[in-house]
């Protein structure tokens, strides 16, 4: 006797998902790799520069306090200063017992701004090897990251194009 086939009912469900509004760190790993390659900075140096950019003026003791949570690197301050990431804002005056004050340099502020713009999708990664060392593809990791950067660029362009064609709320009659 042949077996009877059971009918299976499929229940339609709507996929209801709240789209996150704050997804700034979605591409953090790619941006971090790009910064490390382009500016020859360590991850801790990058994070330290992002931190001190917001601090304004700071002393050497403040820097020491800030870097307590990063991997130990005795020469970090002097290396960042000598490489132009930190600049002297006020020189030390031992006669009047005034400590030196420092701030992030224009070079450092420019790099931090680039990081934030890449994270927010405002700017794309250059795909020219002369401007972006990742696209020289010297290592296998560079190939993987450059492929990802190209995909991020494409997604950003599509998103910007989509936003440029949206009507303002008043024009849409809302």
CATH for 72: 1.10.10
The secondary structure of residue 90, as a DSSP letter, is E
How do the pLDDT tens digits run along the chain, 174 residues long?
555 555 555 566 666 667 777 787 899 999 999 999 999 999 999 999 999 999 999 999 999 999 888 888 889 999 999 999 999 999 998 888 889 999 999 999 999 999 999 999 999 999 999 999 999 989 999 999 999 999 999 999 998 888 777 655 555 444
Give, in order, the Cα–Cα distances in Å from 155 to each of 13, 125, 136, 161, 166. Answer: 28, 12, 22, 10, 17
| Residue 167 belongs to some domain of the structure | no
Dist. CA 86–CA 105, nearest whole Å: 5
Look at residue 103 in the predicted model and tell me its pLDDT. 96
Show the tokens assigned to 142: 């560079």
Burial class of 81 by CB neighbour count within 10 A (0 to 12, 13 to 18, 19+): middle
**17 inside domain:** no
Question: Rg of the chain over CA atoms, in angstroms?
Answer: 25
Structural domain boundaries, residue 62: 42-108
pLDDT of residue 13: 63
How close are the terminal C-alpha atoms of the chain, in Å?
65
What is the distance of C-alpha 19 from the center of its chain? 21
Does 129 fall in a domain? no
Is residue 172 domain-resident?
Answer: no
Tell me, yes or no, whether 48 lies in a domain: yes
Confidence (pLDDT) at 16: 65
- 146 domain-assigned: no
Distance CA 113, CA 80 (A): 17
In a domain, 100, yes or no: yes
Contacts for 64 with CB less than 8 Å, ≥ 6 apart: 77
In a domain, 65, yes or no: yes
Structurally, the chain folds into a number of domains equal to 1
């Amino acid at each position: 006797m042949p077996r009877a086939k059971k009918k299976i009912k499929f229940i339609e469900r709507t996929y209801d998902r709240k789209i996150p509004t704050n997804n700034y760190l979605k591409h953090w790993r790619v941006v971090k790799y790009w910064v490390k390659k382009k500016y020859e900075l360590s991850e801790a140096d990058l994070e330290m520069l992002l931190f001190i950019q917001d601090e304004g003026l700071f002393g050497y003791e403040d820097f020491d306090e800030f870097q307590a949570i990063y991997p130990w690197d005795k020469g970090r301050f002097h290396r960042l200063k000598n490489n132009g990431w930190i600049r002297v804002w006020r020189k030390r005056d031992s006669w009047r017992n005034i400590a030196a004050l420092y701030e992030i340099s224009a070079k450092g502020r420019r790099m931090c701004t680039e990081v934030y713009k890449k994270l927010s999708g405002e700017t794309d990664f250059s795909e020219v090897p002369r401007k972006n060392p990742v696209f020289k593809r010297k290592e296998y990791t560079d190939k993987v990251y450059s492929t990802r950067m190209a995909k991020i660029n494409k997604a950003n362009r599509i998103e910007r194009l989509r936003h440029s064609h949206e009507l303002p709320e008043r024009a849409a009659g809302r």
